[in-house]
A and B are shown apart, each in its own frame.
Chain A
Amino acid sequence: MADLVNKFLPNVVANWEGDNGFVVAIWQTLYMTFVSALFAGIIGIILGILLVVTADDGITPHKTFYTCLDKLVNLFRSIPFIILLAVIGPFTKLIVGQTIGPTGALVPLVIGTAPFFARQVQLALVEVDHGVIEAAEAIGLSPIKIIFRVYLREGLPELIRSGTLTIISLIGLTAMAGAVGGGGLGNMAISVGYQRFENDVTIVSMLFILVLVFVIQGLGDFAVRKLEH
């Protein structure tokens, strides 16, 4: 087995350990994915809820606020991620103190993902039966309780579905951020595999990313199945 690996994947073995090795790259990818998913998730849920409740048919309609937030979300969604990385450099430095490395990638990843997730949350929560919201209002629940007990509860399977989708697209972004100095498997595939013509490194990097995607998709599907009645 060891012989076989040495024979077909010589560069993978050579690049396995060390500061620029696969082990570190995998950790960097996981770090970028999950830390930015956490922050983008929180921001996205808050923005998504605000979009739903302040919309015209929401529980606390507010036209001006909704329009501004709606436009802002669209604006940030329209900026290509690779340009966003460069444009917000100074802002990134202000917040995390560096613009390169996995931590430097966090800020653009969060800003690139949060508006996308906010839209997904909005779509998920708008699907919650309006009649159930009305029933909760008739029962005498306050708007904040309706958000937590009805919207987030009834919309949970759909939220998990969009969360899964968002994390998977986030993994794609970490690869891009990696290629321009963020580290991780993306960096591994491009700056080691592609630029040094070590094709086995590129392929193995891709395989790790695929495994990560499948695991997350599987967990998401499992959770949705458990929750749906």
Chain B
Amino acid sequence: MAEQNGIIQLKDIDVTFHNEGKTIEAVKDVSINVNKGDVFGVIGYSGAGKSTLVRVINLLQKPTSGTVVVNDQNLTQLSAKDLRKARRNIGMIFQHFNLMNSLTVYGNVDFPLRDSGLSKAERKQKIDKLLDIVGLSDRAKNYPSQLSGGQKQRVAIARALANDPEILISDEATSALDPKTTTEILNLLGRLNEELGITIVIITHEMDAIKQVCNRVAVMENGELIEEGSLLSIFGNPKQQLTKDFVNTSTHIGSVLDEIRSSGIVDKLSGRLIELNYIGDSTNEPIVVELYKRFQVEANILFSNIERLQSTTVGIMLFALTGDDDKVEQAIQYLNSLKVNVKEISLKKEGE
């Protein structure tokens, strides 16, 4: 949280709920700084406080303590009227779309424009343009009940963009959608970020959604921000257990490890299990060949997952190394000397 000139600066945010004598700390002392042009992802399981946290950005949720600065404006100090004005600069989309059922698609996008001071003709021009951006020009006269989930979310996006906001908040916006539609919506958000320069804050419980569009990630657990960094650092080098869990689920390495352990394949090979992580192009070195040439150690690749995140390669591999004990030791040392993260994995199940 080094930079201090972000478009969104949340400082020391606490949100505490009192409910029938019980006190629930939904958000505990969280500070985040989102820079202009970021696609900032907040990931965590349900109940982690991420939804409460992003709703603090436009003060739909008033923080118990802490300051909220958006566009150099301290929102907590604004009058109700000025706050409403500031909110027009922050678009928001929701998990359940929250469209007006009594209005057509056109009417829904027009909804925030009624107080904009634009003439009817100007509004029409703008609505047509917005519907074109989200690809729903031919649906203007339909009612929300006639649309699919993905289409509804597109209408919600068009509505959120109506007042030309600089910030768009996405509150679990893809959680109610199928995987293909999720990808389409995320691509749309990515495009809006690139073409309009709009700053986006996404909250989700799916690492795949984060992977697809975010450049920065924050991980939340029990109301606390436990890890934050660039997508590459979070994905390539997760530090907290929860972050690792999210990454493992996303790469499927978790389930593969379980299988390897229960199949006993590494024991059969009488080898040691090594996990390699790398970011960038260290992949180009012929590791497997080198290991054999230098140490006569056989490397069986049991699992490999390579992804392109923001045009950078991020890879993860599982090897079983077999050979003389001291040679294997040397081989591991050699791997350590490369620009990769090496980790020996215990063959025992967690907790054993």
Contacts and interface: CB of A to CB of B under 8 A. Distances in A.
Interface of A: 129, 131-132, 134-142, 145, 149-150, 153-154, 156, 227, 229
Size range of the chain B interface in the assembly: 20 to 34
A150 B107 CA distance: 12
B143 interface: yes
Contacts, number: 66
A138 B159 CA distance: 11
Given A131-B94, A149-B111, A229-B145, A138 B87 contact: yes
Contacts of B146: 229
Interface in B54-89: 58, 60, 80-81, 84-88
A137 B98 CA distance: 12
Interface of B: 58, 60, 80-81, 84-88, 90-92, 94, 96-103, 111-112, 114-115, 143-146, 156, 159, 163
A153 B100 contact: yes
B84 A141 contact: yes
Contact of A138 (B85, B90, B100): B90
Contacts of A153: 100, 102-103
Contact of A156 (B58, B85, B102): B102
Given A149-B111, A229-B143, A229-B145, A138 B102 contact: no
14 contacts: A129-B96, A131-B96, A132-B101, A135-B98, A135-B99, A138-B92, A139-B159, A140-B86, A140-B87, A140-B115, A140-B163, A145-B115, A154-B100, A229-B102
A68 B156 CA distance: 39
A131 B146 CA distance: 19
Nearest to A136: B111
Contact of A132 (B81, B86, B98, B114): B98
Nearest to A157: B102
B60 A137 contact: yes
Nearest to A135: B98
Contacts of B100: 132, 150, 153-154
